[in-house]
A and B are shown apart, each in its own frame.
Chain A
Amino acid sequence: MAHAPTHASVMEPSPDAEQGSGVYNEKLGMWIFLLSEIMFFTALIGSYIILRFSHPDAWTAPGKTLNIPVTAVNTFILICSSVTMVKAYASVADGNQRMLRLWLVLTVLIGATFVGIQAYEYTHLIEKGFVPSAGLYGTTFYTMTGFHGFHVTMGVLCMSFVTWKAFRGRYTAADHRGVEVIGLYWHFVDLVWIILFTIVYLI
């Protein structure tokens, strides 16, 4: 953009403005966007709660239809990707380019693995006849996990872009806004999964 920041650190709020949030624009923008994501998942989860309370018999006992062990492993995998994300952020904050790239590549791979296992899970469930039109159980299961999977997929795509930029040396200890901002999104999507895993699979 034409209005390049002129002050020392781009990861601080601009001194050229009235006291604002105390964080730089991109980080503030991501937090605000995540608020709207919370409302989106609230709509889905809230509908699930209402439907399940009104027709509890439409659900089978936990573990009967869904494969909990496979998804538990998948949950663990996704949590691991949050760890690698944190490591990537810590590396770039230290100015360690090599480790930044390594951790970012790992995050992308683990995120893609999660989506892959979810696709495998869907395939098996559909073969068993558990499809989106199979009663309220299928209806809510595919919508909620599907939209979470969509968010992870978007995250993997954006993370790949960040990784590509990292390989071109675009992130430094002084300016690694992209890594921090995608990290916020990544942790949010992780957190949503922990809630979904609990209420969709375990309860």
Chain B
Amino acid sequence: MATIAPPVEPAAHALVDDRPFIRKYIFSTDHKIIGIQFLLMSLIFLLIGGSLAMMMRWQLGFPGQPMPGGSLLPETMASNRVILPEFYTSLVTMHGTFMVFFAIMPLLVGVFGNYLIPLKIGAHDMAFPRLNMASFWLAVPAGFIMVAGFFVVGGHAAAGWTAYAPLSANPEYTGVSTGQQLWCVSLIVLGLSSILGAVNYISTVINLRAPGMTWFRMPLSIWALFITAILVLLAMPILSGALIMLLFDQTLGTHFYLPAQGGQPLLWQHLFWFFGHPEVYILILPAMGMVSDIIANGSRKPIFGYHSMVIAIISIGFLGWIVWGHHMFQSGMNPTLGTTFMVSTMLISVPSAIKVFNWLGTLWGGSIKFTVPMLHACSFVAMFVIGGLSGVFMASPPLDMYIHDTYFIVAHLHYVLFGGSLFAIFGAITFWYPKMFGRMMNARLGQIHFFLTFIFYNAVFFPMHQLGLHGHMRRIYDPTRYDFLKPLAGLNRFISISAFLLFASQLLFIVNFIGSWFRGRKAERNPWDDTGLEWTTPSPPPHGNWAVVPRVYHPPYEFGSGLTTEDFLPQDRKLDTLPAPATAPAGG
């Protein structure tokens, strides 16, 4: 190493950005621009997915009543402004599909994987910048194909986001053929995009860490994104294979999932959930990592139990592969096998609990600053506990028999995906917004948005536990048609009204996001007094991030350090006097 000249010349040249507009902002290879592109794309899909949910909530809260704005929908979707049952099943399907694959997953992996990995490990860019661009420009057509399904004859896919065969494999069952095929094609393309992204993230983390950035000096967000990338890499191809077989069943007349000629409908469930359960952790691990960063920063304390946090992330990533059967307790599974899946599922609560206690340990005795990111991060912890605990109930087959396919499941998954992941995403966007756009988001507006979202979110999803325990099935079009669900009509209406208010509260976020872009207070380099490497570059960082990559001397969360005059010690600051031995090396 000593024989090689420091790469000042070429790298400094890299900071001069003379790319034309189209290479800079459209077909960019810069990881930061790609991250922002993913951010805008997935926020649009978040809005689409939310709008679909609002239509569902109208039908559930006010069944059979004309929907405001329903006249905008064509006759195939709503008749006399009343949502048709066929369209309702498409809404259920597409709400799940958009939220899981086009909103939460790209928000966590596409946005923050791209934006944070090179900046936090001290690299000029990803290992494969052009592959990175390809990954984004595959996700966009996948999104268009998915949206196009609404406009084809027969309507969009209607077999649920899990697309259980043979319902999804035989068009006669749902009356949807083209929509379901577009659904498959879109997810195959998106899968390829995710795999290319994962190859990039893993290679970057392994090979491009700045000097001194050892594995156990990596921030937990990077650890989480790294393990997530491994899950994406290994899980997405399983889904692609399953989808290709489904597509062939629909188009080529093969018989993978169709029992009439010996196919196995359960094969789809096994393949889907073998992908699907790691997918669950793909949707929560990056959120956990970023929440760790934000909580340490907001408590002004090093994260409690850094190594146990890392080991917890790794063990959740591993255990996620051997629990898929808990989605299938009702599929006629051998009870012994069911018990095995129950035990492995409950094991996951151990690393999850370690993480929760470590977050509490970090908060304990800290000088907590309730900034907007911190509010979101704390509510992540609280909501994740609720969602996680109901997950422990469901892991038990006898109990699952009762609550399977009811609103209890819907409540659980939204507590993890909305209360968990989406709160973390709001927190992370607010936290890294100044770095992305060079301006601060408005804190007052952010607080109001947080409190309204928190209140209405709980008003929507907490009562769903109760619906589920009363036996309210998920995905049904009109609950008032069942006598035993009639007493729940009032509760359903309360949930719907809360959901509309929840949706309306998001307007504040949109206003804040767009408004701050143009009018926000200019952000300095390190507005949150954080220790990470990304805060050592200007906001927003130039193309190439640093003229010379920083050198790392410290672990990631040195807050409240007595070694500096501020209360934090940036990872790249070399101290003249070393803490432990009194004799400092000369020329330091």
Which residue numbers of A lie inside 8 Å of B, CB to CB? 1-4, 6-8, 13-18, 20-21, 24-26, 28-29, 32-33, 35-37, 39-44, 47, 50-51, 54-55, 58, 131-133, 135-136, 138-140, 142-143, 147
**Does B212 make an interface contact (CB < 8 A)?**
yes
**Which residues of chain A are within 8 angstroms of B544 by Cβ–Cβ distance?**
2-3
| Contact partner, B206, options A4, A7, A21, A36, Cβ 8 Å | A21
Contact A47 B262 (CB under 8 A): no
In this complex, how many residues of chain B approach chain A with their Cβ under 8 Å: the count is 60
Stretch at the interface among B79-87, B230-238, B333-341: B230-238
Question: Is the CB–CB distance between B7 and A32 below 8 Å?
Answer: no
Contact of A17 among B9, B210, B240, B261 (CB under 8 A): B210
Using A47-B267, A133-B254 as known contacts, say yes or no to A37 and B262 having CB atoms under 8 A apart.
no
Interface pick from B121-129, B345-353, B420-428 = B121-129
Interface contact B208-A20, CB-CB below 8 Å:
yes
Q: Which residues of B contact A17 (CB under 8 A)?
A: 123, 207-211, 549
Residue B200 is within 8 A (CB to CB) of chain A in the complex? yes
Q: For the complex, what is the distance from the CA of A17 to the CA of B5, rounded to whole Å?
A: 14
Question: Does B203 sit at the interface, judged by CB under 8 A?
Answer: yes
**CB atoms of A42 and B238 under 8 A apart:** yes
Partner of A32, one of B4, B9, B233: B233
In chain B, what residue has the closest Cβ to A23? B207
Q: Of residues 99 to 144 in B, which have CB atoms within 8 Å of A's CB atoms?
A: 123-125, 127-129, 131
Within 8 A of A (CB), among B201-220: 202-203, 206-214
Binding-face segment, B53-61, B241-249, B515-523, B556-564: B241-249
User: Does A143 lie within 8 Å of B244, measured CB to CB?
Assistant: yes
Given contacts A15-B4, A28-B207, A135-B262, contact A43 B237 (CB under 8 A): yes
Question: Given A3-B11, A29-B203, is A51 in contact with B233 using a C-beta cutoff of 8 Å?
Answer: no
Q: Indicate whether A47 sits within 8 Å of B7 (C-beta atoms), given known contacts A20-B208, A25-B207.
A: no
In the assembled complex, which residues on chain B have CB atoms less than 8 Å from the CB atom of A21? 206-207
**Chain B residue contacts of A40, Cβ below 8 A:** 237-238, 240-241
A4, A25, A43, A136 pick with most chain B CB within 10 angstroms: A43
Instruction: List, in ascending order, chain A residues with CB within 8 A of B200's CB.
Output: 29
Least CB distance from A56 to B in Å reads 10
Q: List 26 A-B contacts (CB under 8 A).
A: A2-B10, A2-B13, A2-B14, A3-B14, A3-B124, A15-B4, A16-B7, A18-B210, A18-B211, A25-B127, A25-B128, A28-B207, A29-B200, A35-B234, A43-B238, A50-B270, A51-B256, A51-B264, A55-B262, A133-B254, A138-B254, A140-B256, A142-B254, A143-B244, A143-B248, A143-B256
B267 lies within 8 A of A50 (CB): yes
| Chain A, interface SS category | helix
Q: Given contacts A29-B128, A33-B195, A51-B256, is CB(A135)–CB(B261) below 8 Å?
A: yes
Q: Which of A2, A13, A135, A140 has the most CB of B within 10 A?
A: A2
B248, A132: Cβ atoms under 8 Å?
A: yes
Residues in chain B near residue A26, CB distance under 8 A: 128
CB distance from A6 to the nearest CB of B (A): 4
Report if A133-B255 is in contact (Cβ < 8 Å); known contacts: A17-B208, A25-B128, A25-B203.
yes
Report yes or no: A37 in contact with B199, Cβ–Cβ below 8 A. no
B195 nearest in chain A by CB position: A36
Centre residue among B207, B242, B245, B261 by max chain A CB count within 10 A: B207
Neighbouring B residues of A29 by C-beta, 8 Å: 127-128, 131, 199-200, 203
Shortest CB distance A187–B (Å)? 18
Indicate whether B74 reaches chain A with its CB closer than 8 angstroms.
Answer: no
Roughly how many angstroms separate A149 CA and B422 CA in the complex, as a whole number? 42
Determine the distance from Cα of A95 to Cα of B212 in the docked complex, in whole angstroms.
36
Cβ of B263 under 8 Å from chain A: yes
* Docked CA distance A32–B214 (Å): 21
Which residues of A are found within 8 Å of B211, using beta-carbon distances? 16-18
Q: 4 additional contacts, CB 8 Å, given A136-B263, A139-B254, A139-B263?
A: A17-B211, A47-B267, A51-B262, A133-B253
